[in-house]
Structure 1
Amino acid sequence: MSRAPIIVAARRTPIGRVGRSLRSLSVEQLAAPVLRALLEDVGLGPDGVADVVLGNAVGPGGNPARLAVLTAGFPVSVPGLTVDRQCGSGLAAINLAARLIQSGAGDCYMAGGMESVSTAPWRIEKPASLYDLPRFTHRARFAPEAIGDPDMGAAADEVAQTYGISRDRQDAYALQSHQKAITAEQAGRFALERVPVSLSSQTRVIDDDCPRANLSLERLAKLPPVFSPEGTVTVGNACPINDGAAAVLMMAEEQCRALGIRQGLRFVDAAIAGVDPNLAGIGPVASTRLLLHRHPALTWSEVHHVEFNEAFAAQVLACLDVLEIPPELVNPGGGAIALGHPYGASGAILMTRLFTDLVRHRSPGAWRGLALIGVGGGLGISTLVERWDG
């Protein structure tokens, strides 16, 4: 009996810009409609789900995955587990669920991620004494100061300088991301993966907030550097800040066959690796090299679709250069620069995009995909999947 993990459904919310279309919704309110849609897609009841594993990076703490399970109306018997690997949380949750299936711990899991930066609580450091004022901080620490703990934007500038990624290349890549996203939207390639989100009985959010049809290289070139006067990272060639959720439904192959499910994505393998936190964006190089080391016969000619989280154009371009990934394989529907980067959800959005193009639309000649994401603190995650026709 096969324990191969098969992704049989993948969904996401529209991706909202912070403070805009999804600003009133908490993480569990974003995740709940996605969880319900996954069950509807395969005609499965929630009683068959062994666990729901969801990533979250800047949320309220506690166990928001369990909160999302109950908000979705699932029976109290269905548990929930929250994973925090920062930007990689959603993909890490999917990888964990796959390993649980492989181990025999359970047959059916939901996994993904959720983020509401709009409703995230403020982070305040506790003062050393009652006579000191508390200090607001914008993020948790990723690494000890002795090693270096730069903000991700400053680290992206360092990557651009170290790997010789020019401002012109970054801007051109950003423009292409928006153009591809607009083309994919017009072709209807996002419609089946998105779950409309209700704000009230009269109002629903259906579309993504951020792709821009009117962007140009001239407009991008006018934007100043954000993180240092000498830098090349701007708001135009970096991702926006976003709200959203995404998840997959994953089963052991034997259960798929028993339920009559005959198509999906087979989880092949995944790897995670660490790099210098000062060059955090280069993390996917290390994780992909580790993954390829375990699959030495695999070449780029045998990978048909790469979803790479576009936190910064500089980071993506540096990784593509070092790994020698053909650019035409990468993000055919655009990436996070255009669509957005809701931290804890982004890794699951990558897998949702792979599912749409390799399974829903069955792009001609495309059946093997790779999801890549870099993570604050100097981490990379790489996950390899193949189309499965049971």
Structure 2
Amino acid sequence: MREAVIVDAVRTAGGKRNGQLSGWHPADLLAECLKALQERNDLDPAIVEDVITGCVMQVGAQALNVGRNAVLAAGWPEEVPATSIDRQCGSSQQAAHFAAQAVMAGAHDVVVASGVEVMSLVWMGASAMVDGVGMPFGPMMGLRYADVEKYPGHKGLVPQGISAEIIADKWGISREELDAYGLRSQQLAAVARDEGRFDNEIVPVAGRKIEIDPETRKPTGKIIDTGEMHTTDEGIRESTPESLANLKPAFTPEGKVTAGNSSQICDGASALLIMSEAKANELGLTPRARFHTFALAGV
């Protein structure tokens, strides 16, 4: 079987909710990553045989094949195909799996795996809130699951936050352990940032914020150019055990999951240039990593 290698990896710096990336259209934001792959590797985009894009909330600005729209926004040839996939939180990782598997199978030589989500604009759950077109969970699925005793009304299909609480209870993970893990993650990220370990992968983009009405706290639709280049992850917070301990549970009154030990609302995009080892050698490109094993499991 052929080897699939990663030749380059780029991303925008992460943007916090209503932060430096909140005013970007998702397709345009991903296009910046595609253009960076092209420029950094002297890549002829016409040889890219597919662009596979992971995106969770494929509605609104992220609807109608956001990966294809990004290809066009990047100025790549119209002949370059693209598809958008949804494996929820693992969507862009799955894009990398599919891209590598296509190369390993001999179907393609050059594939881009990518991901984009502008959660400030297309918020979590937005794709299930379109009026008049039904809900994702049908009657047969509902019949399969009984109510969760501790969280009535959810019929075994609970939101992420409550799912995290159930997992913590099942495995006996304490609030203190969750906070310690979250704090360590932030500390490691801060060290990596300060040492410049992210610099090579980050694509600088102009800061564009969506205006927020100070009274309603809702977006007005107006986009504000900040005049700054966005090059640093906004979500890194150097906290302390004491400040984390003072945060209230986010999902249930007696819960353990807080804003300090869980993932942030984030805006951003990323892309990997994946190809066969033979093609990388032909193009004079040096592989940075290779795919070894893939694994999937439902929960």
User: Residue type matched to 1:38 in 2?
Assistant: L
Deviation of 1:141 after TM superposition, in Å, equals 5.0
Query: Contact 2:277 / 2:287 at 8 angstroms: preserved in 1?
Result: no
Query: Contact 2:109 / 2:275 at 8 angstroms: preserved in 1?
Result: yes
Alignment correspondent of 2:283 = 259
* Structure 2 stretches lacking a partner, 5+ long: 146-155, 209-224
**One of 191, 201, 205 as aligned partner of 2:230:** 205
Matches within 5 A, 1:348-363: none
Are 1:155 and 2:152 matched, yes or no? no
User: Residue type matched to 1:212 in 2?
Assistant: R
Q: What secondary structure sits across from 1:271 in the alignment?
A: coil
Are 1:14 and 2:13 matched, yes or no? yes
Deviation of 1:271 after TM superposition, in Å, equals 1.5
Q: What secondary structure sits across from 2:51 in the alignment?
A: strand
**One of 95, 100, 107 as aligned partner of 1:105:** 107
Matches within 5 A, 1:213-362: 213=238, 215-274=239-298
For 2:271 and 2:180, the matched residues in 1 are separated by 31
User: Residue type matched to 2:165 in 1?
Assistant: D
Deviation of 1:263 after TM superposition, in Å, equals 3.0
Deviation per CA, 1:182-219: give whole Å up to 9, x if none. 11111000111110112459442111111112x11101
Are 1:32 and 2:31 matched, yes or no? yes
Q: What secondary structure sits across from 1:114 in the alignment?
A: strand
**One of 87, 94, 107 as aligned partner of 2:96:** 94
For 1:262 and 1:20, the matched residues in 2 are separated by 35
For 2:33 and 2:182, the matched residues in 1 are separated by 28
Are 1:41 and 2:43 matched, yes or no? no
For 2:38 and 2:130, the matched residues in 1 are separated by 41
* Structure 1 stretches lacking a partner, 5+ long: 129-134, 275-377, 379-390
**TM-aligned CA distance change 1:201 to 1:258, over 3 Å:** farther
For 1:34 and 1:141, the matched residues in 2 are separated by 34
User: Residue type matched to 1:144 in 2?
Assistant: M
Are 1:144 and 2:146 matched, yes or no? no
TM score, norm. by length of structure 1: 0.64
TM score, norm. by length of structure 2: 0.83
Are 1:184 and 2:187 matched, yes or no? no
Pairs aligned (count):
264
For 1:209 and 1:249, the matched residues in 2 are separated by 25
Q: What secondary structure sits across from 1:174 in the alignment?
A: helix
Query: Contact 2:116 / 2:269 at 8 angstroms: preserved in 1?
Result: yes
Q: What secondary structure sits across from 1:269 in the alignment?
A: coil
Deviates more, 1:258-267 or 1:77-86: 258-267
For 2:100 and 2:296, the matched residues in 1 are separated by 14
For 2:42 and 2:131, the matched residues in 1 are separated by 49
For 1:126 and 1:71, the matched residues in 2 are separated by 29
Alignment correspondent of 1:76 = 78
For 1:12 and 1:97, the matched residues in 2 are separated by 17
Deviation of 1:10 after TM superposition, in Å, equals 0.3
Percent of aligned pairs with the same residue?
A: 38
Q: What secondary structure sits across from 1:164 in the alignment?
A: coil
**TM-aligned CA distance change 1:188 to 1:234, over 3 Å:** same
Query: Contact 2:120 / 2:265 at 8 angstroms: preserved in 1?
Result: no
Q: What secondary structure sits across from 2:89 in the alignment?
A: coil
Deviation of 1:260 after TM superposition, in Å, equals 2.0
Q: What secondary structure sits across from 2:80 in the alignment?
A: coil
Deviation per CA, 1:285-312: give whole Å up to 9, x if none. xxxxxxxxxxxxxxxxxxxxxxxxxxxx
Query: Contact 1:9 / 1:249 at 8 angstroms: preserved in 2?
Result: yes
